[in-house]
Structure 1
Amino acid sequence: MKKTTLLIILATFIFGCSKDRFNNDNPFLPNYNFSIDLNTNLPIYASLKFTGNAVKAFPANGPSRGIIVFNNGSGFNAFDGACPNQALTTCSTLNISGSNANCPCNSENYNLFTGQSPGQQYELKRYRVEVNGDVVRVFN
């Protein structure tokens, strides 16, 4: 009985715990290994200090359409800058419009608080974010 209980507890810890639960399996968007630090004291990123603001950044070795970083009031969301429900084309670069990102190819609107668009198969591809003082680090 003790061995079985110990085995169940051990299996729960091994298979049940994960640091991040990101699902970035989108057939239209490749996975990139990148990291970028955005210093909110710099004028180009200063708007990130305020809730509801977003900026676009282009990390080296990152997504070809850049990333969108959004201040959601309790932290930051970071998303791929490409439309998630179609192959990469000349019109698949998301545009920021307030707290939404718009895909010009088919007029899809994605909420930057959630990354979702009603009725769409894939939500915006999310990246990890860490905040250290005035620096917002986005990475995958």
Structure 2
Amino acid sequence: MPTPRETILAALHARLSVLPATALRGEVLPERVPADGLMILRDGEPGEPEVTLSPLRYHYQHRAEIEAVVQGSDRDAALDTLVAGLGAALAADRTLGGLCDWVEAEAPRVVDLPVEGAASLKAAVIPVMLHFSTADPLG
């Protein structure tokens, strides 16, 4: 049985998969970026939990990251559309079907990545905070 953390990350990946861009999880950047763009979910860090007693609960603010990448002639508009679509997808269900308390993206960090012999890439790293509680830090 998967842990709550894994279940939440899988649900976040599923949420990304409804967007037109290709959604991967934990993969390296492929040689070719699909025309609709690419999003790679990085599992990130759970951080130090707040702990409550009676009942024992560990409250996490898990920081995952999504790398959004586009390539082509109008990279600025394409990345903006991709990031806006991600924002709308997260806002549609802030609890990922009740799996976590709250999901919230932070502002993207945008970079241009030159590619020798091809159109350069435009990418953004978007931190996503996943707020959830569990009875066991390993479970």
Alignment TM class, shorter chain as reference = under 0.3
Q: Between Structure 1 and Structure 2, which shows a larger proportion of helix residues?
A: 2
Q: Between Structure 1 and Structure 2, which shows a larger proportion of strand residues?
A: 2
Higher relative contact order (CA 8 A, sep 6+): 2
Q: TM-score, normalised by structure 2?
A: 0.26
